[in-house]
Amino acid sequence: MNNGLPRPVTAVVIVAAGSGERLGYGMPKARVPLGSDAILTHALRGVAAAGVARQICVALPPGDTVLQELCAAFAEELRAGHDDNQENPLPVLTTVDGGATRAASVRSALAALLDGTEAVLVHDAARALTPEYVFHRVVDSLAAGAVAVIPAVPVVDTVKMVTPTTGDDSSIAPELVTGTAPREELRSVQTPQGFRLSTLIQAHQAAADFDEKQAAAVTDDAMLVELLGVPVHAVHGSTQSLKITTPLDLIIAEGLLEGPLGIRWVEG
């Protein structure tokens, strides 16, 4: 629900330029079928249904005409289902070529945002089933004054630090436990991650010169903003926002679609 505060002019960046090797389909993950549609189509529908974006900018694998056509078909689906009397205007759908890393894909999309954009939500296409209320929580937190805000859920497993074993120890087990993280302070972090646009641009400019090792260590956008020393807030995410990465995740996502989500997105 809207907290009543005026919302910033917001763009949603969907990063969909990954190879999706871990899913084992031999095609970019965004193209992999989930129910009767591609993962990216589900992600686009979720973003559009949330109604928070003036612009949706999708980073695609360079030269992927299948995904370009999928985005064009989605733009048509949006237009066909849009009523000019609706409260939210039709979002502008833009596509850009993604980069070699997730961060490079985000940078490419940031360069294509419309003038006047005040806030940006960066969302993984792989989190195709993220509920609308998560988008609203993030945007409402930005409206309330957050500069950076991420959806997060408590960690259910106990998490330990380990190091590889060496010498004689390596015949006992491959790793040695070096510590246990305090679980009540840990969160699993999801997307969409929301930022004031100027802050995210600054964070990504600072990261543009990272060497290969540093670049590989960047797994989300909030990390880069943390490096600037800017506070990052967290709102409650959803277990439904799972990141479809492995074949097991795809089975879970299919199961979710057959349940209440199927009624909302497939029939609704």
What whole-number distance in Å separates Cα of residue 80 and Cα of residue 180? 53
Question: Which of 29, 31, 107, 204 lies at the binding interface for ligand C5P (CB under 6 A)?
Answer: 29
Within residues 50-69, the interface with ligand C5P by CB under 6 A covers 59
Choose among 122, 174, 116, 111: nearest CA to 151: 122
Tell whether residue 137 is a contact of ligand C5P (CB under 6 A): no
Q: Where are the beta strands (DSSP E) in the chain?
A: 10-15, 33-34, 37-38, 55-60, 92-97, 119-124, 148-154, 160-164, 175-180, 187-189, 193-196, 233-236
Please identify, using beta-carbon distances, which residue of 29 and 204 lies nearer to ligand C5P: 29
Q: Which residues contact 53 (CB under 8 A, 6 or more apart)?
A: 10, 11, 12, 47, 91, 121
Q: How, if at all, do strands 175-180 and 160-164 pair?
A: antiparallel
Beta-bridge partner residues of 187: 154
Tell whether residue 126 is a contact of ligand C5P (CB under 6 A): yes
Q: Which residues contact 266 (CB under 8 A, 6 or more apart)?
A: 35, 36, 257
Please identify, using beta-carbon distances, which residue of 31 and 140 lies nearer to ligand C5P: 31
Please identify, using beta-carbon distances, which residue of 105 and 240 lies nearer to ligand C5P: 105
Closest separation in Å from C-beta 12 to ligand C5P = 13
Tell whether residue 17 is a contact of ligand C5P (CB under 6 A): yes
Please count the residues of this chain forming the interface with ligand C5P, following the rule CB under 6 A.
Answer: 17
Contact pattern from residue 67 through residue 106 relative to ligand C5P, giving x for each residue in contact according to CB under 6 A and a dash for the rest = -------------------------------xxxxx--x-
Please identify, using beta-carbon distances, which residue of 15 and 44 lies nearer to ligand C5P: 15
Closest separation in Å from C-beta 65 to ligand C5P = 17
Closest separation in Å from C-beta 71 to ligand C5P = 14
Within residues 238-267, the interface with ligand C5P by CB under 6 A covers 245
Dihedral of the alpha carbons of 45, 50, 53, 57, in degrees to the nearest 10: -30
Residues that bind ligand C5P in the complex, under the rule CB under 6 A: 15-18, 29-30, 59, 98-102, 105, 124-126, 245
